[in-house]
Structure 1
Amino acid sequence: MTPQQRSARKPGRVRRAVTAGAVAFTLSAGGAAAWAVDRYVVPHVEISDVSAYQAGQAGTAADTSAASSGTGGAVTTDSTHVSDSSNISISKVTTGSGDTTVTYYVADVVLSDATALQSAFANNSFGENITENTSAIAADNNAVFAINGDYYGFRDTGIVIRNGVVFRDAGARQGLAFYRDGTVKVYDETTTTAAQLVADGVWNTLSFGPSLLDNGQVAAGIEDVEVDTNFGNHSIQGEQPRTAVGVIDQNHLVFVVVDGRSPGYSAGVTMTGLAGIMQGLGATTAYNIDGGGSSTMYFNGSLVNNPLGQDKERGTSDILYIGQ
């Protein structure tokens, strides 16, 4: 287990536990608890208008326009979307029975232009502890498809590049980089810089992990990964709701959202189980991102999955999406 692997956050009940614990702490620990509330609960806005900020960066406005300009004549059904820039197919898979039932949703995505896969932040703002439901962020950005992102706003480390623009350069862990040419690579954030990644053609990054597949094989040690050791959040072990990104080929991606913590509908999966799902879909590279109640897939105006078996989303800080 590497220091980079210990740097992501635990999905699920952790975020609520941090909030509740911090409030309780306030009653008994004074200043230390006030710091915890400020660090993990109170929103801290660094950029209040991300759209304007991105447009102000060299080349960004043209890039965003190019990503969305070829969508004339798009055809959308209940489970598919075909346009000049993307071909999306949504499917549901259920395995097992009784309390071992697992339900997950797969989005097979082929892009003609890699920059058609974009990112957006909650409330069009960048900073810590800023949250909004995946479906709301998607609607605000006229998305036809979206999944929750890496919940960058829960931490103050990691390289954050979105739509070709650098928002944070604090390498800490194993990241995922989406390039403008359609390639996607797992990389070590601590060995490079955000500026170098952009110069090399990176369009978006995710900072969570771990990597699930190495050259199509299940990565070693993924059940022992610890994340967010601060404030008691140190594990993403066990059967959990999950979200993952897989790479089948250049410009051919697969996104998976596994529901969980809902016996009889979906128990969730272990990290190894998630790697197996991605492997079975033909991915050669796969990467775990934020999960738990945040694990959400959105398509054509509505939720695809059923978060925690309650049809209720939990706020997140960011999404990956494809526009209408």
Structure 2
Amino acid sequence: MPRNPRRPRPPARRALIAGVLTVALTAVGASAWALDRYVIEHVEISDVSAYEASLSATPTSDATTGSTTSSSTSDAVVTATSYESDGAAITISTVTTGTGSSTVTYYVADVVLSDATSLRSAFAQDAFGLNITENTSDIAADNGAVFAINGDYYGFRDTGIVIRDGVVYRDEGAREGLAFYRDGTVEVYDETTTTAAQLVADGVWNTLSFGPALLEGGQVVDGIDSVEVDTNVGNHSIQGAQPRTAVGVIDSNHLVFVVVDGRSPGYSAGVTMTGLAEIMQGLGATTAYNIDGGGSSTMYFDGEVVNNPLGKGQERGTSDILYIAG
């Protein structure tokens, strides 16, 4: 008896199967793209130290340490440690304000540079590219730093102007940046209106590409609590009370760096962007700029991490630091 011929699949069923396969393949492709873009390391320059050494000299300094003092007011408890070298005079202060779930702990580095080029930058694993990370303390130790903070996490994005130690690494203007000049001035600028080559020609030594600007002319910038730095895949909101890192300008070659711990109720809740601006304003800064925060917020001094990242004492890898050599 002859077998029944195979019945053709209904068009709707074939379409459904094709649709499922298409979605599956698309999901696989999207996952592969996301891994490639945000996880897998892409090294563009594998030996940054050698690369920069071929273009500029590295300054050296002799250091001496100072003393530690403590004080308190009705609003805050402050502990300070001083350090002096040929490159900079540094005072590190720990400030605790508030009580209970409103407690905020932050760390201030008041830095007077003898020369603007004493403030240097270093990359994770001494390499430039995407998704290359290392703990702030490890990058600092590798570069003989006495003081360091996390940078702008340039390796998370492929846009922005990246100039470090006078060397151009990226020229993709996209946002509001911060420029450190060789003459000691620091200013917020619009990356989309210039080029990296022009900035170097104008005397720029380092740039940061994150934001937003917190203070302009000593005044808190309007609307900073609603700013989004990135809109790409993997971006997290920077609104609300968060751990923070910021750079402020008091005068020529006189800077203030702040790291705020957060997401640890009872120890430190973190601050809003406006709260961070107000801290910088209270320290006497006239210009201030927000850089990468959250779990990246780290301050390193004299061989140790002085803050408590996320209340766990555990650093999160980042792509770069700003530092002063010991």
Calculate the TM-score normalised by the size of structure 1: 0.88
Alignment partner, residue 263 of structure 1: 265
| Aligned counterpart in structure 1 of residue 84 of structure 2, from 66, 82, 85 | 82
* Structure-to-structure mapping, 1:26-41, within 5 angstroms: 29-41=27-39
Runs of 4 or more above 6 Å deviation:
25-28
Does the Cα contact within 8 Å between 2:136 and 2:149 map onto a contact in 1? yes
Q: Whole-Å Cα distance in 2 between the matches of residues 136 and 271 of structure 1?
A: 28
**Count of residue correspondences:** 292
Asked whether 1:224 is paired with 2:214, we answer no
- Structure 2: distance between partners of 1:316 and 1:129: 9
Q: 1:196 — aligned with what?
A: 198
* Deviations 1:178-216, CA, capped at 9 Å, x for gaps: 000100000000000000000000000000000000100
CA distance in 1, matches of 2:227, 2:37: 24
Aligned to 2:315: 313
Please state whether the residue corresponding to 1:245 is helix, strand or coil. Answer: strand
Native 8 Å contact 1:222 1:271 kept in 2: yes
Write the distance in 2 (CA, Å) between the matches of 1:273 and 1:82.
30
Aligned position for 2:16: none
Deviation readout 1:18-46 (Å, 9 max, x if unpaired): xxxxxxx9998111111011101111000
| Bigger helix share | 1
Cα distance in 2, alignment partners of residues 94 and 234 from structure 1:
27
Structure 1 SS opposite 2:247: strand
| 2:102 counterpart (96, 100, 103) | 100
RMSD of aligned residue pairs (Cα, Å)? 1.5
- Look up the SS of the partner of 1:127 in the other structure: strand
Ranges in structure 2 where 5+ consecutive residues have no aligned partner: 1-22, 69-80
Q: Contact conserved, 1:227 with 1:234, CA < 8 A, in 2?
A: no
| SS state at 2:225 partner | helix
Q: Distance in 2 between matches of 1:141 and 1:41?
A: 25
Residue 277 (structure 2) pairs with residue 292 (structure 1): no
2: CA distance between counterparts of 1:27 and 1:297? Answer: 44
Normalised to the residue count of structure 2, the TM-score between the two structures is: 0.87
Match of 1:48 among 39, 46, 56: 46
Contact 2:296 2:315 in 1 (8 A): yes
Displacement of 1:81: 1.1
Q: Any conservation in 1 of the 2:212–2:229 contact (CA below 8 Å)?
A: no
State the match for 1:72 in structure 2. Answer: 62
SS in 2 for 1:91: strand
Aligned partners of 1:26 and 1:33 also within 8 Å: no
**Aligned-pair CA distance for 1:229:** 1.2
* Paired residues of 1:40 and 1:154 also in contact (CA < 8 A): yes
Please state whether the residue corresponding to 2:233 is helix, strand or coil.
helix
Shift of 1:75: 2.7
| Cα deviation code 1:222-270 (max 9, x no counterpart) | 0110122122625210000000000000000000000000010000000
Instruction: Note if contact 2:124-2:132 (Cα within 8 Å) is conserved in structure 1.
Output: yes
* Structure 1 residue 303 corresponds to structure 2 residue 305: yes
Q: Identify which of structures 1 and 2 has the higher relative contact order when contacts are C-alpha pairs closer than 8 Å and 6+ apart.
A: 1
- Match of 1:112? 114
1:33-62 CA deviation, whole Å, 9 max, x = no partner?
A: 1101110111100000001111222xx12x
| CA shift in 2, pair 1:27/1:204, >3 Å | same
User: In the alignment, residue 250 of structure 1 is paired with which amino acid?
Assistant: S
Counterpart of 2:184 in structure 1 is 182
Mark the structure with the bigger radius of gyration: 2
